[in-house]
Amino acid sequence: MPRGLRRAAVLGATAHVASKRGQARGAAEAAQAPPEETAPQTAAPPAQPASPVEDQYSELMKLKELLDAGVLTQEEFDAQKQEILAS
């Protein structure tokens, strides 16, 4: 048998044995786990509030849209932008 083929066979067999041992270990741990840990969660996790960075970004985007539409002047935009970034 060529050396490369032997090496591939050994590596493949080793990976197969390791995989089977991992599966057996996982099954044993699952059988020993208390029922509370394996029970599915029925309640949805609480909603995460938006991060301050996302809030700042959305406010800046709204201001930019107002600037582009001509509702705000560049000076007004810059002043509002500084207030948002300072908070």
Residues 26 and 55 in one domain: no
The CA-atom distances, in angstroms, between 46 and each of 13, 31, 66, 69 are 46, 30, 34, 38
Instruction: Quick: pLDDT tens for 65-76.
Output: 999 999 989 999
Higher pLDDT, 78 or 36: 78
In a domain? residue 42: no
Query: Residue 62: its pLDDT value, please?
Result: 93
In a domain? residue 5: yes
In a domain? residue 45: no
The whole-angstrom separation of Cα 49 and Cα 2 is 61
Instruction: Quick: pLDDT tens for 32-63.
Output: 766 655 555 666 666 666 677 788 899 999 99
The whole-angstrom separation of Cα 57 and Cα 78 is 15
Residues 60 and 84 in one domain: yes
Which residue type does 49 have? P
- Torsion angle of the four alpha carbons 52, 60, 46, 30, in this order, in degrees rounded to the nearest 10: -80
Residues 54 and 87 in one domain: yes
State the residue range of the domain holding 25: 1-37
pLDDT, the chain, mean? 76
In a domain? residue 43: no
